[in-house]
């Protein structure tokens, strides 16, 4: 008798932080994912600072008899954590688990929509776009691929109607947020807005906020925006197909 295969468990892998706002935001995002896909089991594991750890989550799933897992890095770019840290953790998972590592969240048109949502929530309107310069402020990375992706996103976003969009970084790369704000002022933008391209509050997002002191508008982090939750499900769906094939789908 045919039985429908069980969907792989989605394990969201977050970095973790000493700042309690980080884990709270991650959990809020995961709750939204669950609300969009009732019946999908979603677990959360952290690489550092918070519990449960990724290893602990995978051990628990294996002990329950779970066979198939999609591990989804809660990251916006493919940098060190996606290329090294997370694969290393997954290699140490219990051997009975079949794990597929999903792609990172960015880039995605949905994330651009989430950035605009946060700017509008901060007070801007669609009518403000043509006279507003935006700083796309990310955490920063020493990985050239990740930096190039942020620059590409800024160029793409500019073509949606903003007067100008400049990338900025809270660490590892330049320019800093405050430098990009000054550049947009000098460019003649009627107003300057800072859009943090980060998922949750913490040390580097706070640095972005300080760098936005001379901007007119500072948006909130992406957090549990519905568009972000939809990207998680897109990445899960793209990664789960091979796992379903493996169980006879």
CATH code at 180? 3.40.50.1400
The verdict on 95 and 147 lying in the same domain is no
Residue 38 lies in a domain: yes
Residue 62 lies in a domain: yes
The 3-class secondary structure across the chain, one letter per residue, is: CCCCCCCCEEEEEECCCCCHHHHHHHHHHHHHHHHHCCCCCEEEEECCCCCCEHHHHHHHHHHHCCCEEEEEECCCCCCHHHHHHHHHHHHCCCCCCEEEECCCCCCCHHHHHHHHHHHHHCCCCHHHHHHEEEEEEECCCCCHHHHHHHHHHHHHHHCCCCCEEEEEECCCCCCCHHHHHHHHHHHCCCEEEEEECCCCCCHHHHHHHHHCCCCCEECCCCCCCHHHHHHHHHHHHHHHHHHHHHCCC
The verdict on 138 and 210 lying in the same domain is yes
The verdict on 214 and 234 lying in the same domain is no
The verdict on 240 and 173 lying in the same domain is no
Residue 2 lies in a domain: no
The verdict on 167 and 205 lying in the same domain is yes
The verdict on 162 and 82 lying in the same domain is no
The verdict on 150 and 207 lying in the same domain is yes
Q: What is the pLDDT of residues 95-133, one digit of tens each?
A: 999 999 999 999 999 999 999 999 999 999 999 999 999
Residue 114 lies in a domain: no
Q: What is the pLDDT of residues 124-181, one digit of tens each?
A: 999 999 999 999 999 999 999 999 999 999 999 999 999 999 999 999 999 999 999 9
The verdict on 15 and 84 lying in the same domain is yes
Is pLDDT above 60 for 245? no
Residue 27 lies in a domain: yes
Residue 113 lies in a domain: no
Residue 115 lies in a domain: no
pTM: 0.93
Q: How many domains does the chain have?
A: 2
Query: What pLDDT, on a 0 to 100 scale, did the predictor assign at position 243?
Result: 46
Which residue range(s) make up the domain with 66? Answer: 9-106+225-246
Is pLDDT above 60 for 247? no
Residue 17 lies in a domain: yes
């Amino acid at each position: 008798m045919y039985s429908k295969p069980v969907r792989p468990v989605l394990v969201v892998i977050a970095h973790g932080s000493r700042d309690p706002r980080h884990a709270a935001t991650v959990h809020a995002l995961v709750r939204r994912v669950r609300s969009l896909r009732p019946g999908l089991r979603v677990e959360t594991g952290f690489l550092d600072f918070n519990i449960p750890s990724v290893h602990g989550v995978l051990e628990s799933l294996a002990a329950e008899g779970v066979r198939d897992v999609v591990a989804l890095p809660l990251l916006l770019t493919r940098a060190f954590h996606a290329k090294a840290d997370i694969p290393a953790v997954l290699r140490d998972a219990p051997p009975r688990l079949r794990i597929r590592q999903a792609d990172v969240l960015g880039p995605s048109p949905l994330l651009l929509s989430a950035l605009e949502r946060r700017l509008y929530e901060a007070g801007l309107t669609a009518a403000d776009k043509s006279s507003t310069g935006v700083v796309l402020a990310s955490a920063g990375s020493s990985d050239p691929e990740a930096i190039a992706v942020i620059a590409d996103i800024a160029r793409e976003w500019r073509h949606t109607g903003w007067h100008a969009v400049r990338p900025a970084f809270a660490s590892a790369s330049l320019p800093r947020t405050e430098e990009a704000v000054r550049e947009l002022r000098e460019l003649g933008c009627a107003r300057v807005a800072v859009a943090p391209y980060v998922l949750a509050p913490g040390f580097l997002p706070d640095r972005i906020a300080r760098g936005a002191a001379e901007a007119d508008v500072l948006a909130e982090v992406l957090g549990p925006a519905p568009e972000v939750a939809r990207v998680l499900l897109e990445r899960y769906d793209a990664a789960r197909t091979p796992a379903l094939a493996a169980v006879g789908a």
